[in-house]
């Protein structure tokens, strides 16, 4: 695989610590959900990245499919839970709103984008991802 871009982040203190990009451009104090500590958590950071990546991939795939849409909005819900084996896993609901396409073509676009988006490719076979497509 030809690498187009690479970044590096470092975390200290786990879910109650701090994480930041090694170039210093972005950093977050971390907090375990349900505690009084102010901060974000890894699931929120994953949701931010997945939403941005998927929404960016939509027009690329639309062009390949020769589908012209007007606007899109992608929201991602990320949950964490315990597997029956005792380990932990993520769970994702991906919500895409599209204007300018029929419901059938919007669903076709979202399904095809799910095969192209790098975050989606990272989740295939690893994380349950449910696609929800709404035409506005």
- 76-115 pLDDT tens trace: 999 999 999 999 999 999 999 999 999 999 999 999 999 9
Instruction: Evaluate whether 5 touches 15 at the Cβ level (below 8 Å).
Output: no
CATH topology of domain 1-40: N-terminal domain of TfIIb (2.20.25)
DSSP E strand stretches across the chain: 9-12, 18-21, 27-29, 71-82, 88-99, 128-135
User: 59-87 burial by CB neighbour count: b if 16+ within 10 A, else e?
Assistant: eebbeeeebebeebebebebeeeeeeeee
Please give the mean pLDDT across all residues of the chain: 96
CATH architecture of the domain formed by 42-135: 2-Layer Sandwich (3.30)
What's the pLDDT score for residue 133? 98
From-to residues of CATH 2.20.25.10 in the chain: 1-40
From-to residues of CATH 3.30.300.20 in the chain: 42-135
Determine the Cα–Cα distance for residues 6 and 100; give it in Å rounded to an integer.
34
């Amino acid at each position: 695989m030809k690498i187009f871009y690479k970044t590096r982040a470092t975390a200290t203190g786990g879910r109650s610590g701090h994480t930041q990009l090694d170039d210093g451009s972005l950093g977050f104090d971390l907090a375990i959900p349900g505690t009084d500590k102010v901060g974000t958590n890894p699931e929120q950071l994953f949701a931010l990245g997945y939403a941005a990546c998927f929404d960016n991939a939509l027009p690329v795939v639309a062009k390949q499919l020769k589908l012209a849409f007007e606007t899109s909005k992608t929201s991602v819900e990320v949950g964490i839970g315990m597997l029956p084996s005792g380990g932990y896993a993520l769970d994702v609901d991906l919500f895409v709103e599209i204007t300018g396409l029929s419901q059938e073509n919007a669903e076709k676009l979202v399904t095809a984008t799910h095969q192209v988006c790098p975050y989606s490719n990272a989740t295939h076979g690893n994380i349950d991802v449910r696609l929800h497509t709404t035409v506005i």
